[in-house]
Amino acid sequence: MNTSAIVMMVISILFLWGGLALSIWHLSKNPEQLDEVLEEVKDQHTL
């Protein structure tokens, strides 16, 4: 592999893993809310 290929590989890896880390961080700070419909269905199944 030449130098430019290694540099592009490192940039791509950092981009992908950085995006994953940012999405996990964002989801931990802003968790998804369940819709009222989903909560009603969940309540019905626990009866």
How far apart are the two ends of the chain, measured CA to CA in Å? Answer: 62
Banded pLDDT at 47 (limits 50, 70, 90) = low
For residue 17 the two structure tokens come to: 């893993």
Q: What angle do CA 20, 25, 27 make, to 5 degrees?
A: 95
Which tens digits make up the pLDDT trace of 3-46?
A: 999 999 999 999 999 999 999 999 899 877 766 667 777 777 76
For tokens 């992908």, name the residue. 16
Task: Name the pTM for this structure.
Answer: 0.58
Report the C-alpha gap between 8 and 30 in whole angstroms. Answer: 32
- Residue written as token pair 């430019």: 4
